[in-house]
Amino acid sequence: MKKIISHVQRRKRVYIEIALAVIVVLGFGIFYHYGEMNFEAYLAEKFPSNGLSLAQVISVENDTSTQYLSQSIVVQFLTGDMKGQTTTVTSQAVSSSTSNNYLLISPGEKVLLARDNLSGFANEPYFITDRYRLPALFFAILLFAIVAVLFGRIRGLTSLIGLAMSAGVLIGFVVPQILAGHDPLTICLIGAATIALVSLYLAHGFNKRTTVALCGTLITLAVSASLAILFVSMAKLIGLATDQSFYLEMGTNINLNLRGLLLGGIIIGALGVLDDVTIGQSATVYELKNANPNLDAKELYRRAMSVGREHIASLINTLFLAYAGISLPIILYLVAFQNGVPLWFALNGEPIAEEIVRTMVGSIGIILAVPITTLLAARIFGTSAPQKID
């Protein structure tokens, strides 16, 4: 009788989760269908009428008489005091290559126009400052959310909630506190611990398995922070490898600790992969204990580490590829404009040195997370009877 009741309850839960996924997917679809129009209506109220406007390209004429192709573009204003009116702006391609057609503005595109307040431009008071990309970004986010809910069901939905709360911690706490002049490393550690706490429990439920993973994550974060401080200090990095860091240092009245900002970024960057590793190892130990309750802590650790080594092997270059992808333009720039400068000189420069340190700290943290979490899980699950976790 108990098995029948349990089976019915499981089926009922599955049906509820599927219905929830369908509702969310339909809701996202309806929201996106009407969202762009309503979103632009909202933006129309927020755009400063005398500074920035949203416009649609009506027609384009290309001038190929010069080295860099020039475009004469007729646009119609969609927001601001000029809404409904048209004007002509000139845009010049940033590359002389004729194969890079994606650099050119096409009819039907939506662009952002800024007013040119400089004297001498009375005939063309506006210029194109950027393309309008929000609908495409909005669609990518919706597709991600739909896939997460469709295949993850209730776990996918709670993971999305955790993701939203993680973004809220970064935007609502970490960024304001750093801009207020507080130590970036301390703030990022607090933010990372909060994100780990919220995201792990929302994604994987309130149970002993998740608690073990959280403890492993926090311990590894502390170790990673120590390694980051050591390597950054040894390499004498100052955190000025990017243009954004330079502008933050020179263009604001805020006394920012750029080295601390670099250290904090390393911690935040490593956190996402640490969550995956720690919950994986904790779940492995739990399932081993559940399959064979007679296994003691030592045997659980040995068997789980066998799985963990495979996990390490698959993740050993994860952060390297992620950071290399982000830094690819920097690498290309250094190689293309090497001009006889030896390779070691480029590696010694701060842009590449920062990425090397970032990658090494994150990778070492990932590797250490496996034995740390496995040991914690083996000690806890090895001395207690397994509990059923849905």
Give the tens place of pLDDT for each residue, 143-194: 888 888 777 777 788 888 888 888 999 999 998 998 888 888 899 999 999 9
CATH number at residue 111: 2.40.50
Establish if 22 belongs to a structural domain: no
Tell me the residue ranges of DSSP E strands in the chain.
52-63, 70-77, 86-92, 110-115, 126-131
Q: What is the pLDDT of residues 284-293, one digit of tens each?
A: 999 988 888 8
Whether 114 and 185 map to the same domain: the answer is: no
Domain boundary among 109, 132, 155: 132
Counting the structural domains of the chain, the total is 2
CA pair distance 315, 360, nearest whole angstrom: 13
pLDDT recorded at residue 241: 65
CB 72 within 8 A of CB 104: no
Q: Choose between 20 and 301: higher pLDDT.
A: 301
CA pair distance 123, 138, nearest whole angstrom: 36
Q: What is the pLDDT of residues 246-264, one digit of tens each?
A: 666 666 566 777 888 888 8
pLDDT recorded at residue 120: 47
Lookup: tokens for 92: 């010049």
Three-state secondary-structure class, residue 53: strand
> The domain containing residue 338 runs over which residues?
181-381
Whether 318 and 185 map to the same domain: the answer is: yes
| pTM attached to this predicted model | 0.73
Q: Choose between 351 and 6: higher pLDDT.
A: 351
Consecutive H or E run containing 199: helix 184-204
Lookup: tokens for 282: 């904790």
Consecutive H or E run containing 166: helix 134-169
Establish if 259 belongs to a structural domain: yes
- The whole-number average pLDDT for the span 102-122 is 73
Q: What is the pLDDT of residues 22-42, one digit of tens each?
A: 666 666 666 656 555 566 656
